[in-house]
Amino acid sequence: MSTTTTQSGSGTPAGSAPASSAKTGSSELVSWKAGIGLSLLAILGTVLFGFMSDSKSAGFGIAEAANEAASNVAAWVTLVLALLLSAWLGYLWFVRRRAGLTPGGGTVPRWLPASTVAAVAILGLAALGVAKVAKITLPSAAIGWISAVVLLGLAGYSVYRTQAKKATPRWVGGTFAAVFLIGFMVWIVAGGNGDAPSISLAGLIAGSVTLAVPLVFGSLSGVLCERVGVVNIAIEGQLLLGAFSAAVVATVTQNVYAGLVAAAVAGALVSLVLAVVSIKYLVNQIIVGVVLNVLISGLTSFLFSTLLTANPDGLNKPGRLPPVDIPFLSDIPIIGPILFHQSLVGYLMYVAVIVVYLGLFHTKWGLRVRAVGEHPQAADTVGINVNRTRFWNVLMGGAIAGIGGSFFTLVSVDAFSKDMSGGRGYIALAALIFGRWNPIGAFLAALLFGFADNLQSVITIIGSPVPSQFMAMLPYALTVFAVAGLVGRSRPPAASGIPYVKG
C-alpha cells in the first residue's frame, strides 16, 4: 500500500502550528479564521462581562500555608529565583528577537516566550505569598468592562492584521485567552449568593488538577498511539480495566503499589488486542476501539456484580495511595499545595508528560515514531519496521492509560464501581485533539477539562445563575473551534488510522 498524502516538515511537532499565511505567486493569502473567531468571542464577552455584569464584587481566596515559617522562606526564595529567571529569559527573548530582524539572524525558539510568561506568572504568585495576601477582591462591573474593551481591541487588531495580509501574532491569542478567563471568572463569582460572593481559588485549581489526572494519562496514551498512526478509541476501556485490576490486585495482595502495576498491565492487555487486530489483521481501528470499550464495560460490570459485590472485603477494598508533600516545593505559597501535594499517581503524571514530550521530539526514537505516523512508506524505505514500531507504541500507550485508571480506585475512592471511568476516555480523546497531538498541549487541554468539571461544582455551591451544563459544554465547544481551525491549525498525523502493508 502506498501513501499518497504527504506533509512537509514531518519532523515538526503537530502542536506547533505553522504560520497561518501562505504565499501564492506574489500575493499572500491569510486566513480570516483568527479574526472572525476572536471577534465573535469578544462580542460574547462584551455582552456577558459588560452589559450583564453584576454590581457586586468577586472574591478569590488564596491558599493558607500549613507551616508559616517554611512558607515565608519558600516565598522569598521563589521570588528571588523567579525574578532572576524572568530577567534572564526576557533578555534572551529580546536578543533573539532583535537578531531575527536581521538577515540570517535566526528565530526565537518556541519554548522561550512560553517559558518567559510562566516565569513572570510564578514571580507574581511568589509576590502574593511574600505580601501574605489572603484574598483578592475585584469589582465585577469595572473588571467586566475593562475585559470587554481589551477583548474588542485585540479582536480589532487581529482583523486589521488580516486586512493587511499579515498573520495574527501568537501573543494576541494568548493575551485574549487570559483576559477572557479573568472576565469570565469574575462574572461567574459575582453572580453568586450574598453581598460579597467568593470562592477559594487555590481549592478550585487544586481540584482541577486532581480531576485532570486520568484525562492526562488517557490523552498521553492517545498521543503515543496516533503519533505512530493508530487511532486509539479504546482509552475508555483501558482506564476502566486499569481501575478494576488495581482494585482487585491491591485488595488481594494488600499492597496498593501492586495494584498500580496491575493497572498498567491491564491497560497494556487491552492495547495488545487493539494492536493485534488492527495492525496485524488490518481491521478498522475505530471499530476495534469501540468494540473493546463495550466489551470491557460489560466484563467489568459482570465481574463486579458476581464477584466483587459478593465479597467486597476480599476483592474490593484496595486502600488508597496517600498524598505526599515534596519538601520545600510544597511550602511555596499558592502553587506549592496545588502541584506538590499529590499522590504517587499525580507525580507520575508530571513525569509521564515530560518523558513523552522529550522522547517524541528530542530523541532518535521519537523521530522514528513521528516518521511512521506521517509517512510509513518513507520510514520503511530507510529501514524502520513500521508495524513493530506501531505495535510497541500502542502497548506503551495502553500501559500509561491503565495507570491513569488506577487513579479512580487508588486515589479518588477506595472501591471499584460499575463504569466508574464515566466516559473520561472519550474526554481524553477530545483533549488530545484540542492539544493538537502534542503531549504538552494535551496536558494543558486536560487541565482545562478538569477546570471546567470542577467549576461546575463550585458555581452550584455559591449559587451562581450560570447553568452548570454550560460549563460542561464549554470544553467541547472549544474542541470544535480547535478542529475547525479557529484557534489554530489542528492536524493529526497524516497516516493516523491508515493500516500499513509492506510491499
Cα 235 to Cα 243: distance, rounded to the nearest angstrom: 12
- Considering only residues 19 and 45, tell me which one the structure prediction assigns the higher pLDDT: 45
Q: Which three cell numbers stand for residue 179?
A: 483576559
> 122 burial class (0-12, 13-18, 19+ CB within 10 angstroms)?
buried
Structure confidence by residue, pLDDT tens digits, 299-335: 999 999 999 999 988 999 999 999 998 888 888 888 8
Cα 403 to Cα 264: distance, rounded to the nearest angstrom: 5
Cα separations in angstroms, 257 against 12, 118, 209, 415, 466: 38, 34, 22, 15, 42
**Percent of the chain scoring above 70 in pLDDT:** 89
Structure confidence by residue, pLDDT tens digits, 132-181: 888 889 999 999 999 999 999 999 999 999 998 888 888 898 899 899 99
**DSSP alpha helix (H) spans, 340-438:** 344-362, 364-374, 376-381, 386-407, 424-434
pLDDT at 103 exceeding the cut of 70: no
Nearest to 502 by CA among 370, 387, 368: 387
pLDDT of residue 488: 52
Cα 51 to Cα 152: distance, rounded to the nearest angstrom: 14
Amino acid sitting at position 401: A
Mean pLDDT value across the chain: 86
Cα 228 to Cα 376: distance, rounded to the nearest angstrom: 9
Q: What is the pTM of this model?
A: 0.86
pLDDT, mean of residues 493-501: 88
